[in-house]
Amino acid sequence: MRNTRARRPQPAIREEKAGNTARGQVAQRKKPQGAAAGEWVSNKAALGGATARRKPVVKPGAKPMDGEVTTPPVARKAPVTRAKKLAVRAGSQKEVAKQKQLREKRLTAEQVGEERLQKALAFSGWGSRREVETWIAEGKVTVNGKVAELGCKVKPGDDVRVSGKRVQMRWADRLPRVLLYHKQEGELVTRDDPQGRVTVFERLPKLASSKWIAIGRLDFNTSGLLVFTTSGDLANRMTHPRFEIEREYAVRVLGELTDEQIAQLKRGIELDDGPAKFERIDASGGEGVNHWYNVVLKEGRNREVRRMFEHFELTVSRLMRVRFGMFGLPPRLKRGQFYELNETETMAVMKWADLKLNGEAKE
């Protein structure tokens, strides 16, 4: 069969071959000195630019060559599974209507009032308060055309700019959110861990316009109730020592306290960082060498419960927080699950803490 495909003109073919030959000669002349035969060289290096050599591929288990510097492989952190939400039955129509009303309620600009500049910018998602304070000190923040100073306040309607860029301000004009999480052992109460361990903030649901604040902390090997909120004033109300909010723990100990030791723990003992005491301590049974106790105290110093038992040379083999103030660990809340308070429950918390609807402290 005759080939009917169109053929390129012979002059075009000759021109293409000549161009390829010329480019190869230019690359050979521009090849950087010291490049070994057969070694790959980038186009940029071939044209006289900086030499960019491809890094040799080292197979696992292979020994490096003499003089070769190898970089240890970086372990990639596995993706963290988000915590599951505890499923609850919806309330009556009246309760659902009340929750919707509270969810849609907004404070007016007059009710919101003035707010410290660093707090307002942090709430609007422009970094932490410390970062904002640094920008203010450097003169990068202006309010209504004037350079802001530390301590100044802003209100809805003010023109706030950072490095000349106008900020779309957000204001705490609605109910905050409150969440109960059943922490598992092996999780850290921090936003970032250099060692790549799992943090509780990675397990929580993401927020669009604010961030979760942990009310108190739990040790790496301690499980139980953690309370999170978007209200900084509520977190301060529950954690500041002057409010003396109770914390209740279930403690499993290797050994048993004597009646005299229990009396001493109630009266108070001296630790390295000061006196400490239990407001209440009750024996809860146990098997063999393991004994359970329920203890209540009004502060939350680092490893305080464990250190109080270690004072009598008793080792805590398990520690779980079951209550924090008015919040108890729900019986149906499994480890790694969370429950978010509905609007009527959140409003009850605001009244208990003597805060405004938006979670701010009353003036």
Known catalytic residues are 219
For residue 181, what are the β-bridge partners? 226, 338
Question: What is d(CA 154, CA 162) in angstroms, rounded to the nearest whole number?
Answer: 14
Residue type, 291: H
The alpha carbons of the chain give a radius of gyration, in whole angstroms, of: 32
- Rounded Cα gap, residues 3 and 26, in angstroms: 38
Separation of alpha carbons 4 and 363, rounded Å: 92
**Paired residues of 214 in beta bridges:** 228
Q: Which residue has the tokens 């009004």?
A: 298
Q: Report the distance separating Cα 352 and Cα 355, nearest Å.
A: 8
Per-residue CA distances from 198 to 79, 195, 220 (Å): 9, 9, 10
Region for 125 from its dihedrals, namely left if φ exceeds 0, alpha if ψ lies in -120 to 50, beta otherwise? left
CB atoms within 10 A of CB 5: 4
Q: Is the dihedral of CA 352, 354, 356, 361 positive or negative?
A: negative
CA 331/CA 120 separation, integer angstroms: 38
By CB neighbour count within 10 A (0-12 exposed, 13-18 middle, 19+ buried), where does 278 fall? buried
